[in-house]
Amino acid sequence: MEQEIRLYSSYLHQVAYLYVKDRELAKDVVQQVWLKRLKKVDQFRAESQLKTYLVRMTVNVCHDLLRKQKKWYEPMTEKVDFRTPERRLLQKERTENLIGAIHTLTFKEREVIILHYFEEWTTPEIASCLSITSSAVRSRLQRARMHLKEKLEVAIDEEATRSGIEAYYANGTRD
Q: What is the pTM of this model?
A: 0.52
CA distance 158 to 100: 14
Fold held by 1-71:
Rna Polymerase Sigma Factor; Chain: A (1.10.1740)
**CATH 1.10.10.10 domain span(s) along the chain:** 78-175
CA 7 to chain centre: 22
pLDDT digits (tens, 9 = 90+) for 33-67: 888 888 876 666 665 677 888 888 888 888 788 77
CA distance 58 to 137: 19
**CATH 1.10.1740.10 domain span(s) along the chain:** 1-71
pLDDT digits (tens, 9 = 90+) for 24-41: 888 998 898 888 888 876
Q: What is the DSSP letter of 83?
A: S
> Quick one: pLDDT at residue 53?
80
Q: Which is nearest to 18 in space by CA: 53, 49, 62?
A: 62
Handedness of CA 11, 13, 14, 20 (dihedral sign): positive
Of 12-16, 73-77, 100-104, 107-111, give the lowest mean pLDDT range.
Answer: 73-77
Handedness of CA 147, 150, 152, 155 (dihedral sign): negative
Fold held by 78-175:
Arc Repressor Mutant, subunit A (1.10.10)
CA distance 73 to 57: 17
Show contacts of 21-25: CB within 8 Å, 24+ apart.
Answer: 21/73, 21/74, 21/75, 21/76, 25/65
